[in-house]
Structure 1
Amino acid sequence: MAAGRGGEPQPRGPQRDLQQCAVRDLLRRPAGKLAVRRAENQPHLRRAPRSPRRAPPHSVGGGALHLRAVRDRARPQLRVPGISAHGLGRGTQRTLSLLGRARVRVALVCDWFLPRQGGIELHLRDLAVTLREAGLDARIVTTTRGDPVVEGIPVHRVHTPLMPGAGFAFWPGALGEIERVIREEEFNVVHAHASVVSPVAFAGALAARRAGLPSLLTFHSMLHRSSFFLGASEALFAWNQGGIVLSAVSSVVAEQVARWIPGASVGVLPNGLDTRFWRARPNEPANGEIVFASAIRLSRKKRPLRLVRAFADAVRFVAGAPAMRLVVAGSGPEAVPMRRLADELGVGARVELAGQLSRRALRDLYARSHAFVLPSERESFGIAALEARTAGLPVIAMLASGVRDFVRQGIDGLLARDDAELTRHISRLALDAPFREYVRHRNASVVPPYDWRDVRATHLELYALAAARHTTARG
């Protein structure tokens, strides 16, 4: 990177971008360009990556700092012996032909689903809907209690004892129950979705292997604290040797998975969204007060108190010219401490806790806001930031998060290395109107490549890849 105006790092060529290439683009490249870096497979490197704040910086052109966390992102490869990578770009028909069925039945296996509210639950609902629109019979397999049909999606709820207060399955017999459902419902593909603690997702992947079915395992959460368990599960179940296609929702998580599964080829399978919905209302904030929006669960993991502190520090630095306001959408146990902290720091009148908002209400909030702030560092993907970016807002997020896959420094928004830089970025977007307007107009005119139609096509190609790998393994 080269230093631009104000000392902000600017990309110099596509090789410097933080964008992770789409999996299907990687599949279509010649084999020579798909060589995966093997350094993470050495025993002394099988650990979670260090925090970017502790990573040693080094100088590049113009003296700008380029963190190791940016450089050492995942380099996925997804190759199947005997299968041409150039043949894996035909979407639905490729999937149907490889699976040999006119209507493919897909099991989306996860520990969590609606009515429980969260990012992975909403993602599974949207994924099931878009797969069913493409002609696949997508169904949910979960241990979350609830109705058998949700918004037209069949849900197979496995009845098994759940951990009190946590809600995840802990009974060893759950594996047999999940395998029974997968066999009885005659699924053709099993797509397991793993979070921090996911015995059901791992059981689904194992059940698919035992049932002789093509399978994928997608990781949705940062693995810092659960990396040891992933390494232990690899030692026990040999995920990389069982023909299971491994993927993660961002390059950050993909690198963590690759570090703990020796020889793994980990692809990036991102979340999706309806770009037409989020761009239906133009971003036209009013002049005068600068409004910063945020949408997070108000829990300690998401760092809402750090957001309030950073905003208060920025307000003191800006000194009222211009006036600033922070609107936070979301609910959780940190709501009362946030209100108390805002009052203590003297910004209580400038911080608005809007509560849990619907997607339509969030879109209305973004239409009247100037920027979006996501303070969490352990954000595996950052769907809220992508929704705001699609709506046209400049995004401020942490460099350590998965947001760096779709927000480029100084182009789509600003990425903070630490909390002090988070404050400086909020201050800059409040004071630097020309830069703020540049990013806002660019985001409003350039649609990010994460629409559900594109993400669905990538899912279908990976289902075809899983079927091809399964066929090759049996042959």
Structure 2
Amino acid sequence: MKILHATDTYAPTVGGIEVLVHDLAAHQAAAGHDVTVLTRTPGPTGVDSNGVMVVRDARAMRALVAEADMVHAHVSAISPLALRAAEIAAAQRVPAVATVHSMWAAAWPLFRAAALARGWDQLSIQWTAVSEAAADPVRRVLGGRPVLILPNAVDTDLWAAAHAADSTPSGQERGPVTIVSVMRVARRKRPLRLLAVLRRVRAALPSDVEVRVVLVGDGPQLGRLQARISDWGMQGWVEAPGALEHHQIRALYERADVFVAPATLESFGIAALEARASGLAVVARAGTGVADFVADGVEGLLARTDAEMVGQLALLCTDAAARARIQRHNATVRPAYDWSDVLWRTTYAYDAAAELTAGTSRSAQQAPLKTDRPRSAA
């Protein structure tokens, strides 16, 4: 199959969409598909090391769509190239999937106006979203049209290795409780609010409870974050080293206990999924995409407010039994969103798009997770 991924942002830019599209394209190429990525992001063009053709000239869009068997548009808050590719595909009767990777939430009336103006709810495009939280406003935008859940994925085998050699959850009877966060250090991810939460956590803890915090990531607010750590006198227990490579993050997770995701507009949360697959307890905001793979009290804790997050982090720092119970569960029970699951769900979405284009009007009901189907004895 000739697959065209259309995304306004791509490597070398680093972010959730960029990582997902890169890895999905690589997995599809490895499976024998002819895969092309069309993007507006400047960078190297041509066939990459995974066998994926990368085109960075939007003027090639119509020709690439016409040659494709499937167009997969990756949509964020502002995605003119991706949305236009899906529209052109529908006009040319090329099957198209549009995946929404962001939270349209409060802005959904604006997107509804755009949908009415552009006729999105009438075009033969199979809409998907990366989580239930992201899908709900898309359904409103499309007037109740079916929206499938097409989540992000991680290599759970790779991340599970962080605790493979240690059956005892990390952090028990060995040094400080270590809290980590991995994010793009930008306003939307709320890194400065997280620092304020952590300051309140430290104030709420007994003086004999040791805590270490590592805030990983780069972005426009990194300088302000580092300056505020110093201004608030937190440098003795909080560090913000900037971006780290995956192998460095996995090494950090071997010594960590809790992962915290403070964003309120988190459509999925790849970093949180990686941490959960590594055996860490996850603390995140309720109503976000993290809730698709973190049940409150099972894989972690979900906070409705920052004040509630303060209490949850303080609890996990002081209650070793509660922390160990969550860590033990996460270290032994794999999350469903491995690539084998998500590739199957992607194929389901592609089939739904093809049938929609062919006019068969199949009811686009939500595909079950692979874990809902019989597993092999592997």
TM-score, L = length of structure 2: 0.90
Matched letter for residue 53 of structure 2: P
Find 1:180's aligned residue among 48, 63, 85: 63
Corresponding position of 2:123: 242
Answer whether contact 1:194 1:220 (CA < 8 A) is retained.
yes
AA in 1 matched with 2:312: H
Which residue number corresponds to residue 151 of structure 1?
Answer: 49
Q: Which residue number in structure 2 is paired with residue 362 of structure 1? A: 249
Partner deviation per Cα, 1:168-219 (whole Å, 9 max, x = no partner): xxxxxx6xx4223322xx1101111101100001101011012211111110
Aligned partners of 1:226, 1:201: CA distance in 2, in Å?
Answer: 19
Kindly provide the CA deviation profile for residues 150-172 of structure 1, in whole angstroms up to 9, marking residues without a partner as x.
Answer: 3331112225xxxxxxxxxxxxx
Does the aligned pair in 1 maintain the 2:159–2:278 contact within 8 Å?
Answer: yes
- How far the C-alpha of 1:416 sits from its partner, in A, is 0.6
Whether contact under 8 Å (1:240, 1:263) holds in the other structure is no
Bigger Rg over Cα:
1
The yes-or-no answer on 1:323 pairing with 2:222 is no
Aligned-residue offset at 1:236? 2.0
Residue type of the alignment partner of 1:305: L
User: Which one of the candidate residues 83, 87, 90 is aligned to 1:202?
Assistant: 83
Give yes or no for contact 2:268–2:290 (8 Å, CA) kept in 1.
yes
Residue 223 (structure 1) shift: 0.9
> Looking at both structures, which has the greater relative contact order when contacts are Cα pairs under 8 Å and sequence separation is at least 6?
1
Q: 1:452 aligns with which of 339, 345, 351?
A: 339
User: Are 1:256 and 2:118 counterparts?
Assistant: no
**Percent identity of the aligned residues?**
35
Taking the aligned partners of 1:319 and 1:111, their CA distance within structure 2 comes to: 48
> Greater CA deviation, 148-157 or 418-427?
148-157
Partner of 2:221: 334
Name the aligned partner's letter for residue 356 of structure 2: R
Q: Is the 8 A contact 2:43 2:56 kept in 1?
A: yes
- Please tell me whether the aligned partners of residues 390 and 447 of structure 1 are also in contact (alpha carbons under 8 angstroms): yes
Letter in 2 for 1:214: P
- Distance in 2 (CA, whole Å) between partners of 1:341 and 1:247 is 39
Q: Tell me the SS of whatever aligns to 1:191.
A: strand
Moved more, 309-318 or 332-341: 332-341
Take 1:228 and 1:112, find their aligned partners in 2: how far apart are those partners?
24
- AA aligned to 2:48 is V
Which residue in 2 is equivalent to 1:139? Answer: 36
Task: Say if 1:114 and 1:327 are closer, same or farther in 2 by CA, change over 3 A.
Answer: same
- Contact persistence 1:142–1:156 (CA under 8 A): yes
**1:411-464: CA deviation from partner (whole Å, max 9, x where unpaired):** 100001001011111100000100000000000000000000110011011111
Q: How large is the RMSD of aligned CA atoms in angstroms?
A: 1.6
Would you say 1:471 and 2:340 are equivalent positions?
no
**Deviation at residue 226 of structure 1 after TM alignment:** 4.1
Q: Residue type matched to 1:236 in 2? A: A
5+ residue gaps, structure 1: 1-103, 160-173
Question: 2: distance between equivalents of 1:461 and 1:105?
Answer: 16
How do 1:162-311 residues align onto structure 2 when only pairs under 5 Å count?
177-183=60-66, 186-224=67-105, 226-282=107-163, 284-285=170-171, 287-311=174-198
Consecutive aligned runs of 4 or more in structure 1 exceeding 6 Å deviation = none
Q: Any conservation in 1 of the 2:90–2:357 contact (CA below 8 Å)?
A: no
Question: In structure 1, how many angstroms separate the alpha carbons of the residues matched to 2:55 and 2:109?
Answer: 30
Residue identity matched to 2:201: A
1:31-180 pair list within 5 angstroms: 104-148=1-45, 149-152=47-50, 153-159=52-58, 177-180=60-63
Tell me the CA shift for residue 242 of structure 1: 1.7
Q: CA deviation at 1:354?
A: 1.9
